[in-house]
Structure 1
Amino acid sequence: MTDNPTYRGTVYPWHCDHVGHMNVMWYVGKFDEATWNLFRQLGITSGHLRGGFGMAAVQQNITYKRELLAGDTVEVHSRLLEIREKVIRFVHEMRNAETGEVAALCELTGVHMDRSTRRSCPFPDAVLAAAREALAA
């Protein structure tokens, strides 16, 4: 996982369901925010995406390990698992920032796209290089 969190935030009462713990939709949202921060670190920036490119999630698997409650502060740490010409795989680990306990894990697979053709396309060389450097670290 990265030493620096790709997301940090708080569980608010409106994030909680009828059982009193954070609802699954908010886990997904916090993991999504972590994804965009990880992408920025690799060079998949908002400027790149405004240039006609996009990312499509093609698989997402979440494992829930511990409940998060209103008032808990959470951190997501992310790690790249694989980069190929057009495909990226990575994992997020959501932790309770106070206890350090892992609350959930999320493994994702994404595809780089050309938005004009709506087809997959290769990542820029700089993104591939940054990802390979992250994998080697």
Structure 2
Amino acid sequence: MTSEATYRGTVYPWQCDHIGHMNVMWYVGKFDEASWNFLARIKLTPGYLRAQGRGLAGLQQNITYRRELLAGDVVEISSTLREIRDKTVRFVHEMRNAETGEVAATCELTAVYMDRHVRKAASFPAEIREAAMAALATVEPVA
């Protein structure tokens, strides 16, 4: 899957902290919104998850902050699938200042697919694995 925009938005003044840049809680929130848009591309939509009694739970999230984002900055996040296993998925988000093109932050997430009723990990069904594998097959190597 080539990295396509999974989130576009703006930094609002109330999202900035005492030193004037976007507070870390808002980075996490914007990455979370990008996650749901990304997951929908591999057929893990909210409707599908509700209908199947399934969900996703975060296992690990690593954020690297590179550049400040200030009130009024336009933000774009692109997402790339890195790995899918029997019960887990790993993907990376890259947040950029849409005006300058500079990378503001990256976020790598690993999540487990789970049965919401028994609260245990579950194997991805074939149609999800196929959609994910097709997405994986088109990833361009990182330079």
Matched, 1:46 2:53: no
Matched, 1:80 2:81: yes
TM-score by length of 2: 0.93
Q: How many residues align?
A: 137
Counterpart position of 2:107: 106
Tell me the alpha carbon deviations over residues 12-47 of structure 1, each in whole angstroms, 9 at most, x when there is no partner: 000000000000000000000000001000000111
SS in 2 for 1:67: coil
Please list every run of 5 or more consecutive structure 1 residues that lacks an aligned counterpart in the other structure: none
Root-mean-square deviation (CA, aligned residues, Å) is: 1.0
Counterpart position of 2:117: 116
Counterpart position of 2:27: 27
Structure 2 CA distance for aligned equivalents of residues 135 and 60 of structure 1: 20
Structure 2 CA distance for aligned equivalents of residues 47 and 78 of structure 1: 21
Amino acid at match of 1:89: R
How far 1:3 sits from its partner (Å)? 4.4
Runs of 4+ in structure 1 over 3 Å off: none
TM-score by length of 1: 0.97
Amino acid at match of 2:136: L
Amino acid at match of 1:79: T
Please list every run of 5 or more consecutive structure 2 residues that lacks an aligned counterpart in the other structure: 139-143
Amino acid at match of 2:118: T
